């Protein structure tokens, strides 16, 4: 919820407020936007550690993948049925898949939990949710690329997705080699910053978004480097400043009081129903594996959204054409989702120490 406040700060400083920034701020500060989105992608990518994924049971892996995907698919279908462009529909679907673990972690800190099995299931899905979100967003960015819509026959979106992954993989391995033997934080930060500049520039030239390619580079980096914990610290050191800067820029570039009611309904009502259904299937699968969770409407714990959702929102606003009313609708939907999700967690998960799951 704190990220929303920075949008408000940008709104107060921009053309609709004090007028300290020009109306075309996103265009004027395009370099900052490109680098910021690349850094957010890097932060997400360095959290994808395959050695941890391998420790999970097979059913936990595919349940972690399928549950957030099931939450986002109705959003995509609903947006397409409502007449939204394919690229924008996919982008909003990716945003719907993004789930924030912050409210759940805050609830568990210093409080007793009634159903620890439910908390573990939610954390499992939250840990995987960013993967399908970034992949779907990469497909959305490929559809929105000027190269895909070029006159006289554009490049297929599937090829642009492959190019995105190739750029990220190449930069990731280059960074692994360059960072080998380097221990100083400043030098590692310089190498990472230069690499993200390269990703952002390459993505801009190809007409793609830098976030998915940078996420791919981060995943390669954390899984192939000798001391990944060093790069984790480097990536997180600039995470907050970059996100704050992007949110302020987006807020300051707000131009009018438009609101996409379709987007709001899809991200709240449709997403909540999809999350509820997905949560019911998740609980059934878990019970068949002798995971005793009895918390009702488990899927409502997947409603809260945070940093990744805000990063995808910035990427959509700055990259996709014709997003009138999307910013306002998504911000309102994130607020509603966080309030409802936090209320559900306090209602059904916070307890007096009795574990209803028996674990």
Query: In whole angstroms, how far apart are CA 235 and each of 36, 95, 193, 196, 244?
Result: 12, 22, 9, 11, 15
Go through the domains of the chain in sequence order and give each one's CATH number: 2-348 (1.20.1530)
pLDDT of residue 304: 94
Contact in structure between 169 and 217 (CB atoms under 8 Å): yes
Q: Residue 207 phi/psi, 5° resolution? A: 70, 30
Taking the mean position of all CA atoms in its chain, how far away is CA 256?
A: 26
Which one, of 58, 174, 181, lies nearest residue 124 by Cα? 58
Give me the residues paired with residue 113 across strands.
350
Q: Give the residue among 56, 68, 77, 134 at the shortest CA–CA distance from 101.
A: 68
In terms of phi and psi (left: phi > 0; alpha: psi -120 to 50; beta: otherwise), the region of 94 is: alpha
pLDDT at 110: 67
Say how many residues make up the chain.
Answer: 359
Q: Please identify every stretch of the chain with a pLDDT value under 70, giving residue numbers as ranges.
A: 1, 15, 110, 149-153, 255-256, 351-359
**Which of the 8 DSSP states describes residue 76?**
H
Which whole-number Å values give the CA distances from 194 to 35, 225, 240, 351, in the listed order? 10, 17, 18, 48
User: For the chain, how long is the longest CA-to-CA vector?
Assistant: 66
pLDDT at 229: 85
pTM confidence score: 0.91
């Amino acid at each position: 919820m704190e990220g929303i406040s920075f949008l408000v700060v940008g709104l107060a400083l921009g053309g609709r407020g004090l007028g300290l920034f020009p109306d075309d701020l996103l265009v004027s500060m395009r370099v900052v936007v490109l680098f910021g989105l690349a850094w957010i992608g890097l932060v997400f990518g360095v959290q994808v550690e395959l050695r941890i994924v391998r420790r999970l049971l097979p059913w936990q892996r595919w349940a972690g993948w399928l549950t957030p995907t099931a939450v986002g698919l109705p959003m995509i279908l609903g947006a397409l049925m409502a007449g939204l462009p394919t690229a924008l529909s996919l982008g909003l679907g990716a945003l719907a898949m993004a789930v924030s673990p912050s409210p759940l972690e805050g609830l568990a800190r210093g409080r007793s939990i009634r159903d620890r099995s439910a908390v573990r299931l939610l954390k499992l899905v939250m840990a995987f949710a960013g993967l399908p979100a970034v992949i779907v967003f990469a497909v959305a960015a490929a559809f929105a690329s000027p190269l895909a819509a070029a006159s006289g026959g554009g490049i297929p979106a599937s090829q642009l997705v492959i190019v995105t992954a190739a750029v990220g993989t190449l930069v990731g391995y280059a960074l692994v080699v360059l960072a080998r033997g380097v221990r100083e934080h400043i030098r590692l930060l310089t190498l990472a910053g230069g690499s993200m500049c390269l990703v952002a520039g390459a993505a801009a030239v190809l007409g793609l978004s830098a976030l998915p390619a940078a996420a791919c580079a981060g995943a390669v980096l954390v899984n192939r480097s000798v001391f990944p914990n060093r790069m984790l610290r480097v990536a997180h050191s600039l995470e907050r400043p970059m996100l704050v800067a992007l949110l302020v820029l987006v807020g300051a570039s707000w131009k009018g009081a438009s609101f996409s009611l379709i987007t709001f309904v899809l991200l709240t009502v449709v997403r909540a129903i999809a999350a509820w259904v997905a949560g019911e299937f998740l609980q059934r699968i878990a019970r068949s594996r002798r995971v005793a969770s009895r918390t009702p409407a488990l899927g409502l714990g997947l409603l809260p959204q945070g940093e990744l959702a805000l990063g995808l929102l910035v990427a959509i606003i700055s990259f996709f054409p014709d997003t009138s009313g999307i910013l306002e609708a998504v911000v309102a939907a994130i607020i509603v989702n966080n309030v409802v999700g936090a209320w559900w967690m306090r209602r059904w998960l916070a307890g007096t120490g009795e574990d209803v799951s028996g674990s």
